[in-house]
Amino acid sequence: MDTHQEAVSVLDAAPALPGERSSRVGLTAAARDLLRTLKLQHGALMFHQSGGCCDGSSPMCYPDGDFITSEADVLLGTFDLDGEGIGFWMSAEQFEYWKHTHLTVDVVTGRGSGFSLEAPEGKRFLIRSRLLVVPG
């Protein structure tokens, strides 16, 4: 897939950090499809990214509110998926490492963490990253 086609198929989250106008996180079409399936089974959803430092680390998907966030977490953005918001959270400590990257949530075949909702589906979410480009 060329870069333009890939960019078109990614749904960017609405920015959540004060003063930001550019999205820090996106969803591939495959991630959106899996989230739709999970929403039917579990209701409202959220993501939390707490570890990993590079491409291939896995964000955890939970029923919204099942993972308790605090001032130790940063809301990077909210996806509008079929009229419902899905927040993408990251630990503040992890954000310090990733503050210069745009994160794209994708899906691959394989078992992820047993705590993330997609595990029984034989799929796992993972992060693909690139340099965050902020319009001037």
Residue 136 lies in a domain: no
Rounded to a whole number of angstroms, the CA Rg of the chain reads 14
Q: How confident is the model at residue 2 (pLDDT cuts 50, 70, 90)?
A: very low
pLDDT digits (tens, 9 = 90+) for 75-84: 999 999 999 9
Residue 34 lies in a domain: yes
Residue 60 lies in a domain: yes
Residue 74 lies in a domain: yes
The residue behind tokens 């210069």 is: 100
CATH code assigned at 87: 2.60.300
State the total domains in the chain: 1
Instruction: Give me the pLDDT at residue 50, please.
Output: 74
Element (H, E) at 53: none
Residue 111 lies in a domain: yes
Residue 40 lies in a domain: yes
* Full domain range(s) for residue 93: 3-131
Measured CA to CA, the distance from residue 100 to residue 60 in angstroms comes to: 21
